Structure 1
């Protein structure tokens, strides 16, 4: 069985719920459906966006650049071990 190398990059997506002003730009630009509307109001009276599926993030950062309030942070997570490790 041949080992196939897969894209092992993972991203952690976080939204500052108090900084979000419910514009929805991140929901519109995300090609993977990472975000959804929260079911609560923040201290400023907005329904912030929340991260629904961080594991689907591909790291394109469209949401980061679309957010006028700088309320989104994306961090690349360490890669998991490669299945094709060389045996010595």
Structure 2
């Protein structure tokens, strides 16, 4: 029996200064990870931010859709907490 992947196994980072708020990541994300920030970056945009990073499943659709290369997805180290029972 293998351990099931846990929700929140991925870390989502958005470069708020590099984001131009195009919204492509929000359009392609199947888990509604992204939302609009409540601040303006140095370029005058309200960047996208990961408002629900715990929902990320690591599909990387946002990463490939971002024309500004402002999104990074990394797998978090997972602590194994399930064990096989031997009979």
Judge same fold: TM > 0.5, yes or no: yes
Q: TM-score, normalised by structure 1?
A: 0.87
Counterpart of 2:24 in structure 1 is 25
- Residues matched between the structures, number: 85
How far is 1:8 from its partner?
Answer: 3.4
The equivalences for 1:11-50 within 5 A come to 11-50=10-49
How far is 1:4 from its partner?
Answer: 7.7
Q: Is the 8 A contact 2:3 2:80 kept in 1?
A: no
How far is 1:5 from its partner?
Answer: 3.5
RMSD (Å) for aligned C-alpha atoms? 2.0
Q: Is the 8 A contact 1:8 1:80 kept in 2?
A: no
For 2:84 and 2:41, the matched residues in 1 are separated by 47
Q: Is the 8 A contact 1:37 1:49 kept in 2?
A: yes
* Alignment gaps of 5+ in structure 2: none
Q: TM-score, normalised by structure 2?
A: 0.88
How far is 1:80 from its partner?
Answer: 2.0
How far is 1:86 from its partner?
Answer: 5.6
Counterpart of 1:6 in structure 2 is 4
Residue by residue over 1:4-39, the C-alpha shift from the partner in whole angstroms, topping out at 9 and shown as x without a partner, is 842237100000000000100000000001000011
How far is 1:46 from its partner?
Answer: 0.4
For 1:86 and 1:60, the matched residues in 2 are separated by 32
